[in-house]
Amino acid sequence: MYSAKELSSLYENKFDTDNFYSGNSNLYIPVQHIMRIPGKRIRPMLLLLSCDAFGGDVRTALSPAFAMEIFHNFSLVHDDIMDQSDIRRGLPTVHKMFGINAGILSGDVMLAYAYKYLTEVPAEYLPSILSLFNKTAIEIFEGQQMDVDFEKREDVSLDEYLKMVEYKTSVLLACSLQIGAILAKAPVADQQLIYNFGIQLGLSFQITDDLLDAFGDAEKTGKKTGGDILQNKKTYLYLSTQQNCTKEQAAQLKRLSTEPDSHKKVSLTKEIMLASGGYDITAQKANELYTHALNSLQAINIPAEQKTELFKMAELINKRDY
C-alpha cells in the first residue's frame, strides 16, 4: 500500500507536464500554460488511490491517471471560454492570454492526448475503460449544456441543479475511481460502490465550490470572488436563497440580476444569501452529501486499512478553503 504522498511522487516523476506533447509550438504553448498552473490533482490521485486500495499495480494506472488530469484541464479551457472567465487558479485563462481560437484548438488537442494516455493500459482492460470514459465524457458535455441553459431560466429546481452537477463534475471523479478499480480487477459490486462514492463526493465538492466562489478568499481560490453571482449562475447557493428569502428579498434579488455595478451586485446578493439562510442550507447539503460519500466508501468489501488514504483524501476535499 502506498501513501497519497508516495503516489503523488510516482505520478509527478512519471509525467513532465511541459513536454508530454511534441510539434507545433503555437499549438502547444497554451496547453503548457494551463498544465503548468498548480492544481489539486484530485482526479488522478483518486484513480491511483482506488487502484492501490483494491490491490492493483499502480504502475498500470499512471497513464490513465494522467489522462484524467489532461481531460479535466481540457474541459476547463473550454468552460472558461463559454463562461467568459478571465482568471483560472490565479492566472489569466488560456483564451484571455492567447485568444479564443487558441483556446478552442488547444482544448481540442488536449482531448486527443487524454485518449492517447487513457489507452496506454493492458489490452484486457481497454473495452471497459473506454466504454466508461466515453459515457462520462458525453455526460460532462451534457452537464455543461445544462449549466448554460440554466442561465436563461428562472425556474431551475434544486434537483435539476444536482443532476447538472452530477454530470458536469461528479462523473469524472467517479469515473477516475472506477477506472482504478477496473485496473485492480475489483468485483463489480465494489466498482459500483466506489463509483457512488465519487458521485456523492463530487456533489459535495461542487456545492462547497459554490460557497467558496461567493464567500471564499480570492487569493486562495484563484478566482474572482462572486464570479457565479456576476454571471447569474443558478448555483445551489443561489437557488436555496431564492427559495427561502422573503418577498422583499426576492424582489431585490431579481433587481440585482441586472445591476451594472459589479461590486454592489456581489455584496448585496451575498447579504441576502446570508440573511435568508441560503448559505446555511447550502453548507448543510454539502455535509449531507459528504456523509453519503463516506457511507459508500465504508461499505466497500476490502479491509479498512486499505481505504485509509481514500478517507483522508475525501476529508481534504471536504475541508478545503480553496
Q: What is the pLDDT of residue 55?
A: 98
Residues 223-241, mean pLDDT to the nearest whole number: 91
**Residue with more model confidence, 176 or 23:** 176
252-269 pLDDT, tens digit per residue, is 999 999 999 999 999 999
Segments forming the whole domain that contains residue 141: 4-318
- Please check the confidence at residue 39 and state whether its pLDDT lies above 80: no
Read off the pTM.
0.92
- Please check the confidence at residue 17 and state whether its pLDDT lies above 70: no
Specify whether the CB–CB gap between 49 and 180 falls below 8 A.
yes
Measured distance CA(115)–CA(87) in Å, rounded? 27
Cell of 272: 441576502
Measured distance CA(156)–CA(239) in Å, rounded? 8
What is the tally of structural domains in the chain?
A: 1
Name residue 92's beta-bridge partners. Answer: 87
Specify whether the CB–CB gap between 65 and 48 falls below 8 A.
yes
Q: What is the pLDDT of residue 262?
A: 95
Residues across the chain: 322
Q: What is the pLDDT of residue 317?
A: 87
CATH number of the domain to which 256 belongs = 1.10.600.10
Q: What is the Cα gyration radius of the chain?
A: 20
- Please check the confidence at residue 22 and state whether its pLDDT lies above 80: no
- Please check the confidence at residue 241 and state whether its pLDDT lies above 90: yes
Instruction: Give per-residue burial for 70-79: e unless 16+ CB within 10 Å, then b.
Output: bbbbbbbbbb
